[in-house]
Chain A
């Protein structure tokens, strides 16, 4: 466990030193600009727009980090040969993968937490104060984090079998398809072709269903998210991450450098 923590903290430190958190400056500027501008151009719906914009920005910034840093987590270590130094220590390959995963997750958590705080500041400025129901928006942030945790899992999985660039392409494709997996399944069911129906059903069950994690619109309009849905999404994400990491470890165990 100690080694996983060491590797995780090392990965987090690397992200910070590589100036990954600079995206927060862009986010801050976006939020300040939105808070100032929205009040003057959208009468009555400015809060909905700000919530949509803020949460979407948290999701996009996180996603960019998850894909671009996540896909280099393992392949960059192999390319730069820093892996020799780690695996020649009493570190199991599974510990390396889990440590790297946890490190990026920590980076994303800190990044998302700071963005969320910034988002609430912007919301408070616009509403001239915050009320208790505003904190139900945190469910959307929690779902974004779950989504990011799956994306990092996908990224690290591909990172174990391919180069950084190809892994980024694959992960992005999985993310896009995963967002529309319910639509793709519905298309298969409506097509009338049994083969297409089976294929789309396989895709639906195989790929992560990211669409279910997007509740930004609902929370922006004050729709209550049922507790059972939160539990189901949490379990789904944990299970999916476990499968992805197990796959990544199995592949990584067999890799030569």
Chain B
């Protein structure tokens, strides 16, 4: 079953004061997220990640296109009963304590007194705020507010959780805790849709990712599939190779970088690997290593995002 279905979602904002002109923040976005998936929406700042989430919660209205969450139209607010949302840099009523915030949020979901009491206690424990449950949020650090935000997003035990940049502003311990929390949600078969520009988080957590840049979808797929796409590069490191050997190797490699005594060669075609090895073994260079290089999400991301970025630079 599809948890989230986005069809041709487009959002134009009006910019300018007198002569308003449309600025496209989201351009015909199509996405399908299966139930129980951890899905990462990646992109640099201004890519349209927050606009996507805001559109899904009707905080902004789409210029065109449609979307469904759990099979329901976006204007059906009853669907929110089964959905949790943590906004980017969340702001809550600062006069409330985390316990009061959870009570307030729970009552908006219509939770009864006893259910709410139990749920509050569980969630405060889960996000590590039990000790400070009676301290007003205005005294909280950014990381603690983020934890309170995650707790309120889970108050209704949602089927689908939307997290907008959940790791932003967190220290390494906080990030690890949020990561563990998302993994727990995956174990509970919840659908998690989160936006981030921290690629290592996406690499650790996501079943599938979509890459967004300047409002356009650059790619979408399973991480394994994406990362195996780039496995064809092999790295060969030689120590003190003679110049003549390097000249011989140059036509076979895609890059050659010298660092001190060592030279790192990148070879793409399999046939060239054997040839390069033969040359290296024939010569007097010391072979340090030969490794197939797995493409990282960062490489994939840069490959998808950089062309557009350079286009922007040339436009300027």
Contacts and interface: CB of A to CB of B under 8 A. Distances in A.
Nearest to A92: B77
B92 A85 contact: yes
A18 interface: yes
B59 A257 contact: yes
B300 interface: no
A89 B80 contact: yes
Contacts of B104: 6, 10
Interface string A1-29: 01100110010011001100000000000
A34 to B, nearest CB: 33
B278 interface: no
Contacts of B80: 88-91
Interface residues of A, number: 24
A88 B85 contact: yes
Nearest to A79: B91
A42 interface: no
Interface stretch (B105-113, B189-197, B238-246): B105-113
B93 A10 contact: yes
B59 A82 contact: no
A128 interface: no
B87 A88 contact: yes
A88 B59 CA distance: 8
B95 interface: yes
A92 B78 CA distance: 9
Interface of A is mostly: helix
A2 B110 contact: yes
Contacts of B59: 83-84, 87-88, 256-257
Given A3-B108, A90-B81, A82 B58 contact: no
Contacts of A113: none
A86 interface: yes
Nearest to B54: A257
B105 A89 contact: yes
A6 B107 contact: yes
B230 interface: no
A257 B174 CA distance: 29
A89 B60 contact: no
Interface in B87-102: 87, 89-93, 95-96
A221 interface: no
A81 interface: yes
B140 interface: no
Interface string B53-93: 01001111100000000000000011111010101011111
B309 to A, nearest CB: 28
Nearest to A83: B59
A99 B89 CA distance: 25
B152 interface: yes
A91 B108 contact: yes
A256 B60 contact: yes
Rank and list the top 9 A-B pairs by shortest CB-CB distance, nearest first.
Answer: A17-B95, A88-B85, A84-B87, A90-B80, A6-B107, A89-B108, A256-B60, A81-B91, A88-B57
